[in-house]
Amino acid sequence: MKTIPRNIPVLNEEVQWDKTKTIVSKTDVYGTILYANDAFSETCGYEKIALIGEPHNIIRHPDMPKVAFKALWQALKKGENFHAIVKNLTKSGKYYWVITDFTIDKDENGETTGYTARRKAVPDSVIDKIAPLYKTLRDIEILKGEAASELYFNAFLNEEVGKSYNDFVVDLFEEELKKEELAKLAKENPKEEISKFKKGLSWFFFSKYEE
Would the CA dihedral through 79, 82, 86, 91 be positive or negative?
A: positive
Distance of CA 206 to the CA centre of its chain: 16
Q: How confident is the model at residue 105 (pLDDT cuts 50, 70, 90)?
A: very high
Q: Which of 45, 34, 65, 63 is nearest to 5 (CA)?
A: 45
- Homologous superfamily of domain range 23-206: PAS domain (3.30.450.20)
* pTM, full prediction: 0.85
Q: Which residues of 41-69 are buried (b: 16+ CB within 10 A; e: fewer)?
A: bebbbbeeebbeebebebbebeebbebbb
Give pLDDT, residue 19.
94
CA atoms of 182 and 120, how far apart (whole Å): 19
pLDDT tens digit string along 64-73? 999 999 999 9
pLDDT tens digit string along 131-179? 999 999 999 999 999 999 999 999 999 999 999 999 999 999 888 888 8
